[in-house]
Structure formats: structure tokens, C-alpha cells
Amino acid sequence: MEEAVEKFSCLIIGSGPAGYTAAIYAARANLKPVMYTGLQQGGQLMNTTDVENFPGYPKGVMGPEMMEEFRQQAERFGTDIRFGIATKVDFSTSPKKVWIDDTKLVEADAVILATGAEAKWLGLPSEQRLNGSGVSACAVCDGFFYRNTDVAIVGAGDTACEEAMYLSKLCTKVHMLIRRGEMRASKIMVDRVLQVPNIEVHWNTDTEEILGETGVEAVRVVNNKTGVRTDIPIKGFFVAIGHQPNSAVFKDYIDTDEQGYVVTKKGTASTNVEGVFACGDLQDKIYRQAVTAAGTGCMAALESERWLSEHGLI
């Protein structure tokens, strides 16, 4: 006997600041939202130690602790939070169809996508071991912790240049590690970086290992032209080689840009599909902050409520 298909008014796919904020607003609007959290409940903040730039936490807060408080607030207003991964969707029908873990089919009138994005890493064991203990993929989030120290950043695009310049205002010295003899960033960004006195650019440089037991102490690099290895003493190591939005499962129906970020209509959380909304890092490649993700989660929930009301579905 086949399991009955569950039908929801509002389905939220993904957790984290965007998903949980959407859940809080949707639940308070009596939409009775159901959330499937995805593999990493709480999103990227579950890998973050101190968060000091989110309003309302004057003493700072650990990322996992903050996400637990978000979850509790969403549940307090009646969000049905479930563990599961959306593995297939069909947004061509009304209601929309979503398969969870390849087996369970659910349907929803409105769907909020909050699956986020993942930082790309170099793939070094030490990189993951020291993640949160000196290794970071967000200079704006964590640069403050390394003020008045020497740090390194790997990356050659516009974002890496921006983050290097941001770090240069806080840190004594910024070592910028570039694999080739040129950057892929725009010329104006490269020129700006080269004019900053405390940014030292290391051309043709590969990162071999991040050194340190409980925290970052140095980075071992090798010049891929000469083969010369060097240990550079640092306290922070920043990876800025890009992010990968978790949008693959939606691409048959939802418009994305060349990098895979979901495209929303300007100033809204609306996608190209009626009744499907996107929020958080899934559609934001510029700011990528918890507070901006939460803001777009609010937008997605308010727009979902309005859309459902206009179509007589609540």
C-alpha cells in the first residue's frame, strides 16, 4: 500500500538563518510551514565559532548556539521541522511536488528555497582540521579576530581581492597566494591590491599545508616555477576561491546564473516560477552574511503569504 502524499500550504527547503527566519514569519502568519532541514541542520553557521556581527548578541555567540536558538524560535510558533533532503522536484504542477530522500513525495502550494551555498575548499586535511581555529572562508565574518596579526588569503578573483583589502585594514600583513603569474580579477581590482603596502602578493604559489596543532601557526607554500618551499608565519588563513550554491536539484525549473545562483526578481524573493521563492546564500553571491540571509528569509515568507492569499490558497 502506497504512503499517502502529504500536502502543505508552505514548504521550506533548507535551514540556516534564511530558512529559520522564513519559518518564523510563515508560522506567525499561520501558514503552518513544514521545513526539511537538509543534511546540515543550521547551514554554514554550524561550522562557525564566534559570531560577533549579528545584532542582538552584544557578547557574541557561537554559530551552532545561534542556530539552535533560531530553530527553537521557529518551533515555538509552530513550524514542523523535519530532517530530510530534497532530492527531486517538479515545479511544473500546482501544487508543487518535492521528493525527500528519493522516496517520500510531498506537495506544497508555496515553496521557499533556502538551501544555501557551500564554500569551495582547497582539499587539504589541515584545512578542515583547523576550520574555525584559524582557517576561514569569510574574511568579513572572521577578519576581526586576526587584527594586528599576519594572515594569508588564497584566491585570485575579485572577491579574493576585496577580502584581501578588507583584511589589510585590520591585519599587520596580508600574504596573497596566487597559483598563476596573473590574477583573474578585473584589472582595477588587481591595481588596487598592488597599491596596498601591507599586501604581499606571492605569484605562482601553491598551498601545500597549513601548519599548527590547535591553531594556525604558518602556511607551507611552494613556488610552482622554482620548486622552492617556504613556511610563512601567520595566525589566520582565508580561502577565497568561490562558493557553490546548492541549486542543482532545482535547475530544471528555476532560473540560475552562470555560477548556479538562483535568480530572483529585483528587490524580491520571487523566482521565475509562481509560488516558488528563494532566500539566503542560494541567491546571494554578494553579501553572504547571516543577517542578510535572515532578511531575505523574512522577504520570502511575506511574499509567500501574499501569494497564497492572492490565489485563495489560505
The sign of the dihedral angle between the CA atoms of 153, 60, 67, 262 is negative
Rounded to an integer, what is the distance from CA 260 to the centroid of its chain? 13
Enumerate the β-bridge partners of residue 34.
11, 80
Q: What is the pLDDT of residues 205-238, one digit of tens each?
A: 999 999 999 999 999 999 999 999 999 999 999 9
Q: What is the pLDDT, as a whole number, of residue 3?
A: 66
Q: Return all residues near 124 (Cβ < 8 A) that are at least 6 apart.
A: 207, 208, 209, 210
Cα–Cα distances (Å) from 218 to 135, 171, 212, 283, in that order, read 11, 15, 7, 35
Q: Sorting pLDDT into bands at 50, 70 and 90, what band is 241?
A: very high
Which overall architecture, per CATH, does domain 6-118+243-310 show?
3-Layer(bba) Sandwich (3.50)
Q: What is the pLDDT of residues 169-190, one digit of tens each?
A: 999 999 999 999 999 999 999 9
User: In this structure, which amino acid lies at residue 58?
Assistant: P
Which overall architecture, per CATH, does domain 121-239 show?
3-Layer(bba) Sandwich (3.50)
Q: Model pTM?
A: 0.85
Q: Which of 10, 141, 161, 279 is catalytic?
A: 141
Q: What is the pLDDT, as a whole number, of residue 223?
A: 97
> Is position 10 annotated as part of the catalytic site?
no
- Is the N-terminal amide bond of 55 cis, ω within 30° of 0? no
Cα–Cα distances (Å) from 120 to 15, 127, 163, 173, 270, in that order, read 20, 11, 15, 24, 27
> Is position 142 annotated as part of the catalytic site?
yes
Q: Which of 50, 80, 90, 138 is catalytic?
A: 138
- Tell me which of 49-63, 97-111, 169-183, 251-265 is least confident: 49-63
Q: Which of 142, 150, 281, 284 is catalytic?
A: 142
Q: What is the pLDDT, as a whole number, of residue 171?
A: 98
Q: What is the pLDDT of residues 258-286, one digit of tens each?
A: 999 999 999 999 999 999 999 999 999 99
Sheet holding 236-239, edge to edge: 135-136, 236-239, 150-154, 173-177, 199-202
Give CATH 3.50.50.60 domain extents, the chain: 6-118+243-310, 121-239
Residue 85 is given by DSSP the state -
Task: Report how far apart the first and last C-alpha atoms of the chain are (Å, whole number).
Answer: 31
Give CA–CA dist 18/12, Å, rounded: 10
- Proportion of the chain above pLDDT 90, given as a percent: 90
User: In this structure, which amino acid lies at residue 145?
Assistant: F
- Give me the DSSP letters along 105-174: EEEEEEEEE---EEE-----HHHHHTBTTTEES-HHHHGGGGTTSEEEEE--SHHHHHHHHHHHTTSSEE
> Is position 161 annotated as part of the catalytic site?
no
